[in-house]
């Protein structure tokens, strides 16, 4: 019996730590460690990359894409990449969570396209071009809902233009905005902000400004963190 005692003690400590939220968050020391810069800005039309490095800037005032009540007690903020498979898998779960928690939470999405994904920047630009016509969330949803249909294509631009047409956007404006400076600046700003906060991959989730450990970004882990912030400590 005694030989099992150390394991029981460790298990008890883990349970207490989880109930207190200690194992949910990345430590402040971890977020200060050196990180990999996000991919350089890409021009969707040509696919070329600029060589200008992204400075490590502290997060500043901005105008994020927000869905949910302005009076919500908890804000869930995701840094995502539309071509990222784990982001695509997380998308329906986040939709379910939004419905479950209602006005208790609000959801913020920020662009963090990764260099390893050849269409990531173009997808981010499509979402931001739609945002300039007031349809960010509709394009955001279409990109994730149809991720498996466009990620393997050589040329995704016609597909994104078709999405814009389906959303009844001004397609001429949409195509120009995809290549425009305003959209490029928005994607770069989100990436810079994420890098300054220690984001190195996607999906990365913050809840009320505290970064969740990657291994906790699961249906159960997200609900545990949200409940913790809502005062539903178990």
Residue 234 lies in a domain: no
- Residue 30 tokens read as 């971890």
Smallest CA-to-CA distance from 119 within 14, 185, 39, 60 is with 39
Judged by average pLDDT, the poorest of 56-65, 70-79, 125-134, 213-222 is 56-65
Predicted confidence at residue 187, as pLDDT, reads 95
The fraction of the chain above a pLDDT of 90, given in percent, is 71
Residue 99 lies in a domain: yes
User: Quick one: pLDDT band at residue 232, thresholds 50, 70, 90?
Assistant: confident
Please tell me the chain's helix, strand, coil percentages from 3-state DSSP, rounded to the nearest 5: 50, 10, 40
Cα gap 124→107, rounded to integer Å: 18
Residue 196 lies in a domain: yes
Predicted confidence at residue 234, as pLDDT, reads 53
Cα gap 57→189, rounded to integer Å: 10
Predicted confidence at residue 54, as pLDDT, reads 39
Cα gap 67→170, rounded to integer Å: 23
pLDDT digits (tens, 9 = 90+) for 86-117: 999 999 999 999 999 999 999 999 999 999 99
Cα gap 180→68, rounded to integer Å: 29
pLDDT digits (tens, 9 = 90+) for 11-26: 343 343 444 455 666 6
Residue 37 CB partners (closer than 8 Å, separation 6+): 53, 54, 195
Q: Can you give the CATH number for the domain in which 111 is found?
A: 3.40.30.10
Predicted confidence at residue 6, as pLDDT, reads 43
* Segment 225-230 long-range contacts (CB within 8 Å, at least 24 positions apart): 225/21, 225/24, 225/25, 226/74, 226/76, 226/97, 226/101, 226/104, 226/105, 228/21, 228/24, 229/73, 229/74, 230/73, 230/74, 230/104
Residue 9 lies in a domain: yes
Phi-psi region of 212 (alpha: psi -120 to 50; beta: other; left: phi over 0): beta
Domain that holds residue 21: 2-47+54-229
Residue 97 lies in a domain: yes
Residue 51 CB partners (closer than 8 Å, separation 6+): 40
pLDDT at 50 over 70: no
DSSP state of 117: S
pLDDT digits (tens, 9 = 90+) for 167-179: 999 999 999 999 9
Domains in the chain: how many in total? 1
User: Quick one: pLDDT band at residue 125, thresholds 50, 70, 90?
Assistant: very high
pLDDT at 53 over 90: no
Residue 88 lies in a domain: yes
Residue 224 lies in a domain: yes
């Amino acid at each position: 019996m005694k030989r099992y005692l150390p394991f029981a003690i460790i298990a008890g400590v883990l349970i207490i730590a989880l109930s207190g939220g200690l194992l949910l968050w990345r430590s402040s020391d971890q977020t200060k460690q050196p990180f990999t810069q996000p991919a350089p800005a890409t021009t969707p039309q040509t696919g070329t990359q600029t060589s200008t490095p992204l400075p490590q800037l502290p997060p500043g005032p901005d105008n994020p894409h927000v869905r949910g009540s302005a009076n919500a007690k908890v804000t869930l903020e995701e840094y995502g990449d539309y071509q990222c498979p784990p982001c695509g898998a997380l998308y329906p779960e986040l939709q379910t969570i939004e419905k479950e928690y209602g006005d208790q939470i609000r959801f913020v999405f920020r662009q963090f396209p990764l260099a390893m994904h050849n269409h990531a920047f173009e997808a981010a630009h499509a979402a931001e071009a739609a945002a300039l016509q007031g349809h960010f969330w509709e394009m955001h949803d279409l990109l994730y809902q149809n991720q498996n249909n466009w990620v393997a294509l050589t040329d995704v631009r016609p597909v994104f233009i078709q999405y814009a047409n389906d959303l009844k956007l001004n397609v001429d404006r949409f195509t120009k905005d995809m290549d425009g400076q305003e959209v490029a600046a928005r994607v770069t700003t989100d990436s810079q902000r994420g890098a300054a906060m220690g984001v190195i991959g996607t999906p990365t989730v913050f809840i009320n400004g505290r970064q969740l450990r990657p291994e906790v970004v699961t249906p159960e882990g997200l609900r545990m963190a949200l409940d913790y912030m809502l005062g539903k400590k178990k």
